[in-house]
Amino acid sequence: MSKRHIVFIVNPRSGIERQKEISHAIDAHLDSDLYTHEIRLTEYAKHGTLLAREAAAQGAYAVVAVGGDGSVNDVVHGLAGTDTVLGVIPKGSGNGMARTIGLPLTTDEAVKVISAGKTLAMDVGYANERIFISNAGVAFDALISKKFAKSEKRGLAVYSWLVTKHMWLYKTWNFHIEIDGKIMNERAFMVVVANGTQFGYNFRIAPMASYTDGLLDVIIVRRFPKILGGIIALRAMTGTIDKSRYVRHFTGREMTISHPQLRLMQTDGDAHECASSITFRIKPGAQRVIVP
Ligand SMILES: Nc1ncnc2c1ncn2[C@@H]1O[C@H](COP(=O)(O)OP(=O)(O)OP(=O)(O)O)[C@@H](O)[C@H]1O
């Protein structure tokens, strides 16, 4: 049997030590009787999409995103429409997708999972034409993604500080929302369309979401007394946010979220400009992913 080829995509900005750690883990734990491999370094943001597309075109069995949800998102954009499998070594700060599928967070263990090669077909979300794996959102989470991207430092402490600081000033909007034909207007602090359960750091905005149910989950956090912000955050950390009286939850296959002033959204933690109306869709089982 011919060996399967795996391409690992690494952001060199993560540092030489981390690159060495990844190389050692691959040498130690990737079964060389079954796999050949190469490591490709990204040269700029989103370069992972191009590298993944090239790898798939050259017949790679798998492309492994070494990083967080942003890196996974880049790779999945490149693999769209191909049979090449996605692998993940969780080296981001929040690692929302990796935590959702229960991947080990250490490099050695993550490489062992890749070597074992068990896969499942994962649903892929679309926000207009843009892919998301974990979640997409149009309100407070989009603002935090933008602020987090500008921050020099990463990590839970920075993320928590940004949420706490901006929550007090944030003004809710009255969104027009249509979910599989059902129309509603909601004054919301957050409207998140989720495929995975969390933003990262175990902050579970959609604890009921599944990568294999063929559905998107819509979480609407309504206007709430800001003094209760800590309690809502605690509910997210304990996986009970849907039990809050300020939270509404729906599932569907297609939904549109609109507001005349809407300009900013996030997909997998990456903030970008958007139109005033966004349509979200799910492609069930569109991407095979290596799982524990
Ligand atoms: N060489 C590079 N130079 C600049 N940016 C890069 C380079 N390679 C990758 N990137 C970008 O860096 C971002 C890395 O995001 P990633 O999600 O992997 O890390 P993170 O934000 O720390 O983790 P998480 O999303 O889990 O919090 C991606 O948007 C990717 O496009």
- Alpha carbons 268 and 199: distance in angstroms, whole number: 8
Using the structure block, give the residue that is written with the tokens 């995975």.
196
- Alpha carbons 24 and 108: distance in angstroms, whole number: 9
Q: Would the CB of 71 count as within 6 Å of ligand 1?
A: yes
Please answer whether residues 241 and 118 qualify as being in contact, where contact means their C-beta atoms are separated by less than 8 angstroms: no
Summary mean pLDDT of the chain: 95
Domains of the chain listed by start with CATH number: 4-117 (3.40.50.10330), 130-285 (2.60.200.40)
Please give the structure tokens belonging to residue 90. 């969780």
Smallest CA separation from ligand 1 atom 12, residue: 45
Q: Which residues contact 1 (CB under 8 A, 6 or more apart)?
A: none
Q: Which ranges of the chain have pLDDT less than 50?
A: none
pLDDT for the residue 275: 94
Q: Would the CB of 84 count as within 6 Å of ligand 1?
A: no
Indicate the angle between helix axes 140-150 and 156-167, nearest 10 degrees.
Answer: 130
Please give the structure tokens belonging to residue 105. 């967070």
CA distances to 31, 36, 53, 278 from 58, in Å: 21, 14, 9, 34
Q: Which residues contact 71 (CB under 8 A, 6 or more apart)?
A: 9, 11, 48, 65, 91, 92
> What DSSP element (H or E) covers 70?
helix 69-79
> What DSSP element (H or E) covers 249?
strand 247-252
pLDDT for the residue 153: 84
Hey, which residues does 82 pair with through a beta bridge?
none
Tell me how crowded residue 186 is: count the other CB atoms within 10 A of its CB: 19
DSSP-derived secondary structure letter, 14: G
Q: Would the CB of 87 count as within 6 Å of ligand 1?
A: no
Q: Which of 10, 11, 41 to mutate to test the pocket of ligand 1 (most atoms within 8 A of CB)?
A: 11
Smallest CA separation from ligand 1 atom 29, residue: 70
Q: Compute the residue count for the chain.
A: 292
Q: Would the CB of 68 count as within 6 Å of ligand 1?
A: yes
From ligand 1's centre to the CA of 291, what distance in Å? 22
Percent of the chain with pLDDT over 70: 100
β-pairing verdict for 247-252 and 130-132: unpaired
Q: What's the N-to-C CA distance of the chain in angstroms?
A: 24
Please write the tens of the pLDDT for every residue from 175-207: 999 999 999 999 999 999 999 999 999 999 999
pLDDT for the residue 22: 96
Q: Would the CB of 105 count as within 6 Å of ligand 1?
A: no
